[in-house]
Structures are given as structure tokens and as C-alpha cells.
């Protein structure tokens, strides 16, 4: 399944002009692929000089930190969420997988750059996860980035965060695949 990055696409229309299936159009200056018409030939990705189109195959798991299952953790950093809601991205769709409880951990607040044992506790609870989404990350961010793509989402509701994630799936996958030590901020 081919997907266009709204962040990278400049609306040059090379993909539109070269698609043999005529499955791509420009909407508000951004290329959009009609997945039902797409023949997955890859021509669009080959001609895109911005690198805005990529083939997304396989699936990945992402976790969203929450206290109430509706909103992202807002009053503190994601590592202090009561639980994590897990979602799978596959074939262009996001589906709920499960909820995992965040183990209680008495963090050593005297440590200036976060308690590494707290980061280990959160990482253990999220074993198998590819990306961690939160409104705010705390001082253990560098330790969490060793295990996940850390994505700061500037919205309050989980459903809105998931819609934003779908629009930025290329950037999220780039971050996961590059094993980046930089967090990603999407809006």
C-alpha cells in the first residue's frame, strides 16, 4: 500500500502525471492515492523527487498514554500514565489491540535527568511496541527513545491523536526504521 506524506509533498503532480492507473489526484495541493484504484506498481514513489511517497507493508504497534481511556495524559508526562492503549496500524487502518496497565513505580525525584529504573519499568510494560505517543515526555525521553519512536501529539483526545498519526504515518515509520534518537512532534 502506497502512502503520501503530507509533510513532504509539495504538490508538483509528477506522481499524478505518471500514474498508469490514474489513481492519484491533488487535493488542497497534496497528492492523494485512491487505494481502490492503485495497482501498487511503485511508479509514484519512483518519480517523487521529494521522497513523499512510500510503500507501507506490514504492521506496527503504537501505545498511547492515558488515565481515562479517552484523553492523552495531560497533567504529567506520558511515563506517569495509568495505562497505555495499544493500537495496530496495518493496511492503512488503525485498530485497537489491548490496554496495558502502567506499573506503579516510586520514582527518585532527586535525579535531575529522570530515574532510569522508571524508564525500564515503562519499557518493560510496553515490550513489543514500536511507537509511544504522548502529549508530553519527561526527563527519561532519551532512555525511552532507545526502545520506541517517541511521538509528541499536540491534541488532547486519543481519537484525534490517532487521526493525526494516520496523516503522518510516513514520518512515524521513518522514525521507527531509522532507530532515531530524536522525538517526533506532530500536529
| 39-66 per-position pLDDT tens digit | 999 999 999 999 999 998 888 999 999 9
The mean pLDDT of the chain is 90
pTM listed for this prediction: 0.81
Q: Are 168 and 5 in contact (CB under 8 A)?
A: yes
Q: Are 137 and 152 in contact (CB under 8 A)?
A: yes
Dist CA 112 CA 103 (whole Å): 22
Sorted by sequence, the CB contacts under 8 Å of residue 39 that are 6+ apart come out as: 20, 21, 23
- Which of these CATH numbers, 3.30.420.130, 1.20.210.10, 1.20.58.2050, 3.40.50.1820, describes 59-186? 3.30.420.130
* CATH architecture of the domain with range 2-55: 2-Layer Sandwich (3.30)
Examine the pLDDT at 108 and tell me if it is beyond 90: no
Question: 122: which 3 cell numbers?
Answer: 515503562
Question: 44: which 3 cell numbers?
Answer: 509514484
Amino acid at each position: 500500500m502506497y502512502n503520501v506524506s503530507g509533510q513532504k509533498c509539495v504538490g508538483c503532480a509528477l506522481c499524478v502525471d505518471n500514474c498508469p492507473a490514474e489513481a492519484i489526484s491533488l487535493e488542497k495541493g497534496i497528492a492523494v492515492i485512491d487505494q481502490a484504484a492503485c495497482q501498487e506498481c511503485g511508479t509514484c514513489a519512483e518519480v517523487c523527487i521529494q521522497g513523499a511517497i512510500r510503500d507501507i507493508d506490514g504492521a506496527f504497534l503504537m501505545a498511547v498514554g492515558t488515565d481515562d481511556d479517552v484523553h492523552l495524559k495531560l497533567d504529567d508526562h506520558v511515563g506517569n500514565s495509568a495505562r497505555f492503549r495499544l493500537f495496530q496500524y496495518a493496511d492503512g487502518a488503525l485498530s485497537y489491540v489491548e490496554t496495558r496497565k502502567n506499573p506503579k513505580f516510586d520514582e527518585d525525584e532527586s535525579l535531575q535527568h529522570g530515574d532510569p529504573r522508571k524508564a525500564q519499568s515503562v519499557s518493560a510494560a510496553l515490550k513489543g511496541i514500536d511507537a509511544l505517543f504522548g502529549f508530553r515526555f519527561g526527563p527519561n525521553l532519551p532512555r525511552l527513545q532507545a526502545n520506541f519512536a517517541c511521538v509528541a501529539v499536540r491534541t488532547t483526545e486519543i481519537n484525534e491523536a490517532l487521526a493525526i498519526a494516520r496523516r503522518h504515518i510516513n514520518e512515524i515509520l521513518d522514525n521507527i526504521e531509522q532507530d532515531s534518537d530524536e522525538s517526533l512532534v506532530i500536529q
